[in-house]
């Protein structure tokens, strides 16, 4: 019998990718107004530059283990004091942002590091202005609250994940526990963070079910920990070798699954 539901945050309950896209759109539009350039090509160039710069930093393996992507680096402050690697990130991100935007501009023939700096500061402001929640998130949580223990299991920097939760304050009150990988010390798919979640809930592995959008973190980790899983595949992504227990397209498809498991 299922007693608790473990939810992923980004792109499961919060539509992070849309927020990032919206922040790029607004920031690149400002660049278009100044320099008459194609905002979509600039976005592509900055995304590419960001990925490349990010993967060369000394703290890159840490970001992979905790689960912090290059675009989170473009707006997060990483004020977390609990780990040396977060301190390195905090020091490095201002330069990272400026370099990513300046390199992107250069790719389009604009050599203006001062403007790169301006855009680097603009992007975090735009990201904070654009939180998106999926239309079925609150309806689903409303129906589950009181029926099940709810635990939010999210990869990332505690400072940044808490910023996301502060911008969308309606979300946190649904959860009995919030577990953030950067505070725990290891991220999904490491089974230890799932075991930590079970111990907070005081339940066995067969009494929990994990719901998440990422096969390589949410579902792989649940599999490793021996927890049933629901892959929420809203955007028709391809399957790979990681097999979820269930696959759904909308959160309301959770209810027949939970009914069956009763």
Note whether 72 binds Mg ion by CB under 5 A: no
Note whether 213 binds Mg ion by CB under 5 A: yes
Nearer to Mg ion, 11 or 43 (CB): 11
Least distance CB 232 / Mg ion (angstroms): 9
Nearer to Mg ion, 31 or 232 (CB): 232
Note whether 80 binds Mg ion by CB under 5 A: no
* Of the candidate residues 2, 10, 144, 188, the single one contacting Mg ion (CB under 5 A): 10
Stretch that binds Mg ion, among 7-15, 144-152, 162-170, 197-205 (CB under 5 A): 7-15
How many residues of this chain interact with Mg ion, rule: CB under 5 A?
5
Stretch that binds Mg ion, among 55-63, 65-73, 214-222, 225-233 (CB under 5 A): 214-222
Residues sharing a CB contact under 8 Å with residue 102, sequence separation 6 or more, in sequence order: 112, 113, 116, 117, 120
Nearer to Mg ion, 71 or 101 (CB): 71
Least distance CB 150 / Mg ion (angstroms): 16
* Of the candidate residues 4, 11, 116, 210, the single one contacting Mg ion (CB under 5 A): 11
Least distance CB 82 / Mg ion (angstroms): 22
Least distance CB 214 / Mg ion (angstroms): 5
Nearer to Mg ion, 12 or 228 (CB): 12
Task: Give the binding site for Mg ion (CB under 5 A).
Answer: 8, 10-11, 213-214
């Amino acid at each position: 019998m299922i007693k608790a539901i473990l939810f992923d945050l980004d792109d499961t309950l919060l539509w992070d990718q849309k927020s990032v896209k919206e922040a790029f759109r607004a920031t690149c539009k400002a660049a278009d107004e100044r320099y008459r350039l194609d905002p979509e090509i600039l976005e592509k160039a900055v995304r590419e530059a960001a990925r490349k710069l990010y993967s060369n930093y000394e703290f890159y393996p840490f970001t992979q283990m905790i689960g912090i992507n290059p675009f989170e680096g473009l707006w997060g402050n990483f004020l977390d004091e609990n780990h040396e690697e977060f301190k390195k990130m905090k020091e490095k991100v201002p330069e990272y942002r400026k370099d990513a935007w300046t390199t992107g501009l250069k790719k389009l023939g604009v050599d203006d590091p001062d403007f790169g700096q301006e855009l680097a500061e603009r992007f975090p402001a735009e990201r904070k202005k654009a939180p998106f929640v999926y239309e079925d998130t609150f309806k689903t949580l409303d129906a589950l609250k009181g029926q099940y223990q709810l635990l939010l299991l999210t990869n990332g920097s505690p400072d940044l994940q808490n910023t996301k939760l502060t911008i969308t304050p309606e979300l946190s009150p649904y959860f009995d526990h919030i577990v953030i990988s950067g505070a725990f010390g290891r991220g999904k798919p490491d089974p230890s963070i799932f075991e930590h979640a079970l111990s907070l809930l005081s339940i066995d592995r067969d009494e929990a079910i994990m719901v998440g959008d990422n096969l390589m973190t949410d579902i792989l980790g649940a599999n490793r920990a021996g927890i049933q899983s629901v892959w929420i595949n809203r955007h028709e992504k391809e399957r790979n070798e990681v097999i979820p227990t269930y696959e759904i397209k909308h959160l309301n498809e959770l209810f027949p699954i939970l009914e069956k498991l009763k």
